[in-house]
Structure 1
Amino acid sequence: MTIVQPTEVAVVDTGSTRDSASYVDWSAIIAGVIFASAISLLFIAFGTAIGLNFIDFRSREGAPGILIGIAAASWFLWVQVSSLMAGGYLAGRLRRRHFDATEDESDVRDGAHGLIVWAGATVLGAIIALGGVGAAANMAGSALATATTASASVAAGAADAIDPNAYFTDQLFRAEQPVAGDTEAARAEAGRIFAQAALGDGTVPEADRTYLANVVAANTGLTPEESAARVDAVVVAIDGAKQDALEAARIARNTGIIAAFLLAATTLVSAIGAYWAAQKGGNHRDENTVLTDVFRRF
């Protein structure tokens, strides 16, 4: 009778192999980044469709711009935080557990994966945003080149209007009684007077006001009083336009500051959310929690 000797069975210690691997699970991180980016793009597209964007706060007729701005900021905060929390949760849930640490240390490692997802998605979003800005800059450069060619014929006249020397030259050869009929020269000189006032505090000297009133009277047939009133009205209108431009610049500057603060604040809050969500994903992984119980076992 032949006796068959039992063969030895090789036992592979999968636990030691897993524990000797890197603590950073890049597959789970990449999956979290992709998931967070997809959710963010979906929500941003939906918000843009209903007017929650930072391009034009007056795009919805009858709605105050400040209210649309607040709504857009709130929507942006929700999109960024919720998408990164979802990505962090997925990374924590998919991360391979190493059993060489305490439960608290495992939670920290899960949270660290959420932070890496947050960092990756933030950098990816910045790259996409900079790419969009670069494309817009190229379009603006092309438009500027076209506008430069179109404006070449009027560049000399604009330079004279801005040049302070032209204003003083006009004073040197200013006639006591303006000549009627030469409207082109009168218009050019009036433009240089207003340009000189804009270089200062915006005030047109009384002598220039009187001269402009005489020129208007000579070329329009108005009475001296009517001409003076028209000059005063134009000066007030120019000053109002200047104040409007200054106010628009102030609003744009403040909007930029608020937008930068909002971006920094939402980025910080989303980092905290991603860290917390990744820890929850790791806890649900260890507890074998199904998706239907995610929001019931906090």
Structure 2
Amino acid sequence: MIVYKNTDAPSGVESSQPAVSWCAVFAGAVAAAALSIVIAILGSGLGLTVLSPYSHPDTVVSVAVGALVWLIFVQWASSALGGYITGRLRTKWVSVMTEEVFFRDTVHGFLAWSLATLITAGFITSSTLLLANGAMKSPPRDEHHGPHAYYINVLFRSDNVHPIPPDVREDAAMLLARSIADKTAQPDDRDYLVHLVSVQTGLNQDESRRRVEGVIAQVQTTADKSRKAMVALSISTALAMMVGAFIASVSAALGGRQRDQF
């Protein structure tokens, strides 16, 4: 068993040297947070972190898989860097058994990972608030370019050359959004949509109802796949973060061992 021995320290006396090197922890956390933010921004530029619940179902799944792979890479790479830097920069302990040194190194790596996670979460929160504030100040988006624009166009598709009134499109978009939130369309909402489609397209009630039922089914299928993709992404991200904590701890132990060799 290897013991780091300090001949100047009295036997049986607790060392005044702190067990936690906070400077090393902070340095590793800052490095990990900076790397994760840079890689996350790069992934956002590549379109790997954008997931819309109104996208095509196949697109939703493919984007979710891409985002998951990218988030795992971000978490593991930043955790490895932060943990290793923490281990290399921590103070060398004396009169401490090897097993205790290993334990302290892994704890340092975990602390660096924890602090980096808080820093990154703060950055993401502030960025989200800024984007939300900008969205509130921007002019409202009309339903020709909204998330339900495609489905509304399908509802009112006809040979009629006259444009659909904005208030009609707005009502249809509101009812489709409610069907997503409630996971089903209320009978009154369905009847009203059927009436709108019949009036605007000239279709009879039966044809209008079939069209409405088909569009609602498409909307709910897309929303359901999006929800499942988001749930899978959230669970996988949490698991990736746990593995990242382990990687940070192991990397810190490796960095600490190399630090003691020099």
Give the TM bin, normalised by the shorter chain. Answer: 0.5 to 0.7
Alignment of 1:249 with 2:245, yes or no, is no
Q: Give yes or no for the alignment of 1:21 onto 2:8.
A: no
Give the residue type in structure 2 aligned to 1:238. Answer: V
Q: Within 2, Cα distance between the matches of 1:56 and 1:247?
A: 14
Give the Cα–Cα distance (whole angstroms) in 2 for the partners of residues 30 and 89 of structure 1: 12
Contact 2:54 2:223 in 1 (8 A): no
- Counterpart code for 2:131: A
Q: 1:199 aligns with which of 170, 173, 186?
A: 186
Contact 1:57–1:68 under 8 Å retained in 2:
no
Q: How does 1:48-197 map to 2 (within 5 A)?
A: 48-55=44-51, 65-143=60-138, 147=140
Rate the CA distance shift 1:137–1:67 in 2: closer, same or farther, 3 A: closer
Cα RMSD for the two superposed structures: 3.9
CA contact (8 A) 1:91 1:117 kept: yes
Deviation at 1:44, TM superposition (A): 2.1
Using CA pairs under 8 Å that are at least 6 residues apart, name the structure with larger relative contact order, 1 or 2: 2
- Cα 1:113/1:37, change in 2 over 3 Å: same
**Runs of 4+ residues over 4 Å off in structure 1:** 13-16, 56-59, 201-204
Say which of 27, 32, 35 aligns to 1:36. Answer: 32
**Paired AA for residue 31 in structure 2:** F
CA change 1:42–1:147 in 2 (3 A) is: closer
**What amino acid sits opposite 1:36 in the alignment?**
A
- Length-normalised TM-score, structure 2: 0.67
Q: 1:259 matched to which residue of 2?
A: 233
Larger Rg: 1
Structure 2: state its 5+ residue gaps.
1-6, 143-167, 176-184
Amino acid paired to 1:29: V
Change (3 A) 1:273 1:231: same
Where structure 1 has 5 or more consecutive residues not aligned to the other structure, the ranges are 1-12, 151-187, 221-226, 289-298
- TM-superposed CA distance for 1:45, in Å, is 2.9
Whether 1:240 aligns to 2:214 is: yes
* Counterparts in 2 of 1:28 and 1:43: CA distance versus 1, 3 Å: same
SS of the aligned residue for 1:23 comes to coil
Cα deviation for residue 138 of structure 1 reads 2.1
| TM-score, normalised by the number of residues in structure 1 | 0.60
Q: Distance in 2 between matches of 1:57 and 1:50?
A: 19
Residue 39 (structure 1) shift: 1.6
Amino acid at match of 1:40: S
Instruction: Verify: 1:282 aligned to 2:253, yes or no.
Output: no
Contact kept, 8 Å, 1:93 with 1:282, in 2: the verdict is yes
Per-residue CA deviations over 1:176-216 (Å, capped at 9, x if unaligned) read: xxxxxxxxxxxx9xx9xxx8xx5328765xxx99xx99xx7
Give the conservation status (yes or no) of the 8 Å contact 1:57–1:65. yes
Kept in 2, the 8 Å contact 1:35–1:86? The answer is: yes
Instruction: Give the number of aligned pairs.
Output: 213
Q: Is contact 1:19–1:98 with CA below 8 Å preserved after alignment?
A: no
Instruction: Give the distance between the partners of 2:189 and 2:213, measured in 1 at CA.
Output: 7
- The structure-2 alpha-carbon separation of the partners of 1:39 and 1:58, relative to structure 1 and needing over 3 Å to count, comes to farther
Deviation, 1:105, is: 0.4
